[in-house]
Structure 1
Amino acid sequence: MRAAPSTGHRGFMRKIIIANNKGGVGKTTIASQLVYALADKSHSVIGVDLDSQRNFTGSFEEATDLGNALELVMTDAPVEAELNAGDIGILSGHKDLLAQNSDDVLINVRNGLVESRGADFCVIDTPPSFSEVVYGALLGSDHLLVPIELKRFSLDGIERVLEAFIAAQEHNPGLELVGFLPSRFDAVKQVERDALVKVAEAFERLLVPHAIRNRTAYVQAQEAGSALSEFRTRSGKEATAEFGAFFDWFYAKINGEN
């Protein structure tokens, strides 16, 4: 049974930011599938693409066009939507986002996100940096999820992420670090299994107890602009079950149930 119609346009919209200053860790795939999973639970969802490469924007074949993120970044114009239960609206990325790096940008992004309305949730995809745009998004968000790859040079960035989180939390005490999510995990490789153990030991309370593996279906869903559930191949079924288990944990976590 689907949930009752969304009332996000009349109430509080929770904002989830997916961020890491390392590229290639699966941020966009995780962000887009979170949007689909929330919509599947009959939530209305706004997706915000703050990356000039616009890969997140291309992750949705059918979604309501809410304009582009450059206006939010340049003028602090909030996202205004009137989405119903299960609807998805996208604030598209823009090629000029990369060039925006002034202090005004940080304030604009923060204010624009805080004032945005029209859905139950807002999921924010970010570029691989802690630029003024990303810091502004951290200041305007409620939950931070950090995908990580279990490789040496990716793991080196975890402390940098924690520093950025602590700096943002000083000005946004309501920001919650949901956790570090192992992404593109290859369980066959001993080096990645060893790295997972090391991260679990060092960041026990911050490590998400799920992992997103390196499966073909994630790439296919990204390229097709659709949810994982659309792919009935073996990889698709495995990815759907895997991401579903993570999402159930994530949904309970942000709702204070675990």
Structure 2
Amino acid sequence: MKTVAVSNQKGGTGKTCIGLHLAMYLAEAGHSVLFVDIDPQANASKTLAPHSSQEVSSSLFAAEPIEVKKNGGITLISADAKMADMERANPQVVGHFRKNINSLSGAFDFCVIDTPPSLGLRMTSALVAADYVLSPIELEEYSIDGIKMMLQTIFGVKQKYNPKLEFLGMLPNRFNSRSERQKATFSELVKNYSELLVPAKIGFRSSIPEALASGVPVWSLKKTAAKEAGREFKAAFKIVFDRVGGVSDE
């Protein structure tokens, strides 16, 4: 099982949207996907509710082993109320989380972890358990400042706790093609951080939240704008998984 944490220490970058479409993309390619929601807002859990397993995400932080029954292409371990209190838990829960994720590795091809938008035990647990991390960003000044802190966190975890962790890159999201400022920011990122950037952009379109509210990927909608958004997602994910080693259709 390849585990991808979708993380950014700044909120509002659309990481849940990216994580959900990533899981749906993998499932449509014929892979079994475990989606773990450790964001107490539980937005991903609402979208994937029909795919819920019998386990909830707080159980992943417990010492007791868990069992998860597959539920079609995507199996959800949903966020529960205890997630809000997890930051006050004993730091040893980080090891419990990694152990429980590893115990499920034989049952699934991929695991996607949606993390909260702040550094703490939950995000640290995801990074310690993951093989890869993908960081959605907005092309705004505050978001760029946030990704610098996120990179420090990622490489700190890699150095101290998880040497196998690989950074897949910053994925520009909610891009406004009419904004000269955002286009200039993207050009600046390409110039200064090309090796840390996914060279693709996901545009800002109302069809994306509309699709997720219906529990489907945006490319399944028949609207022209939705199909264009779908092409952007798939192009970005192809780049991402070329870095992982490829994702074959089955």
Q: Same fold judged by TM-score > 0.5?
A: yes
Gaps of 5+ in 2: none
Pairwise mapping of residues 159-178 of structure 1 onto structure 2 (< 5 A)? Answer: 159-170=148-159, 171-178=161-168
Following TM superposition, by how much is the alpha carbon of 1:254 offset from its aligned partner in structure 2, in angstroms? 0.8
Following TM superposition, by how much is the alpha carbon of 1:107 offset from its aligned partner in structure 2, in angstroms? 2.0
Residue 36 of structure 1 is matched in structure 2 by: 24
Residue 3 of structure 1 is matched in structure 2 by: none
Residue 152 of structure 1 is matched in structure 2 by: 141
Residue 215 of structure 1 is matched in structure 2 by: 205
Residue 5 of structure 2 is matched in structure 1 by: 17
Following TM superposition, by how much is the alpha carbon of 1:241 offset from its aligned partner in structure 2, in angstroms? 1.2
Distance in 1 between residues matched to 2:20 and 2:137, nearest whole Å: 16
Gaps of 5+ in 1: 1-12
Residues 24-33 or 153-162, more deviating: 153-162
Residue 139 of structure 1 is matched in structure 2 by: 128
Residue in structure 2 matching 1:128, options 106, 111, 117: 117
Summarize the Cα distance change of 1:133–1:76 in structure 2 as closer, same or farther, 3 Å threshold. farther
1:96 and 2:82 matched: yes
Following TM superposition, by how much is the alpha carbon of 1:78 offset from its aligned partner in structure 2, in angstroms? 4.4
Residue 50 of structure 1 is matched in structure 2 by: 38
TM-score by length of 1: 0.89
Give secondary structure in 1 for the equivalent of 2:50: coil
Following TM superposition, by how much is the alpha carbon of 1:245 offset from its aligned partner in structure 2, in angstroms? 1.1
Distance in 2 between residues matched to 1:47 and 1:82, nearest whole Å: 11
Give secondary structure in 1 for the equivalent of 2:196: coil
Distance in 1 between residues matched to 2:151 and 2:137, nearest whole Å: 13
Residue 242 of structure 2 is matched in structure 1 by: 252
- % identity of equivalent residues: 30
TM-score by length of 2: 0.91
Residue in structure 1 matching 2:195, options 205, 212, 225: 205
Summarize the Cα distance change of 1:42–1:162 in structure 2 as closer, same or farther, 3 Å threshold. same
1:183 and 2:173 matched: yes
Following TM superposition, by how much is the alpha carbon of 1:49 offset from its aligned partner in structure 2, in angstroms? 0.2
Distance in 2 between residues matched to 1:76 and 1:238, nearest whole Å: 45
Following TM superposition, by how much is the alpha carbon of 1:62 offset from its aligned partner in structure 2, in angstroms? 3.4
Distance in 2 between residues matched to 1:79 and 1:140, nearest whole Å: 17
Following TM superposition, by how much is the alpha carbon of 1:256 offset from its aligned partner in structure 2, in angstroms? 6.1
Is the 8 Å Cα contact of residues 73 and 133 (structure 1) preserved in structure 2? Answer: no
Residue in structure 1 matching 2:230, options 240, 243, 252: 240
Residue 9 of structure 1 is matched in structure 2 by: none
Residue 8 of structure 1 is matched in structure 2 by: none
Is the 8 Å Cα contact of residues 83 and 119 (structure 1) preserved in structure 2? Answer: no
What are the superposed Cα offsets for residues 13-47 of structure 1, whole Å, 9 maximum, x if unpaired? 11010000110101000000011100111000010
The alignment yields a C-alpha RMSD, in angstroms, of: 1.7
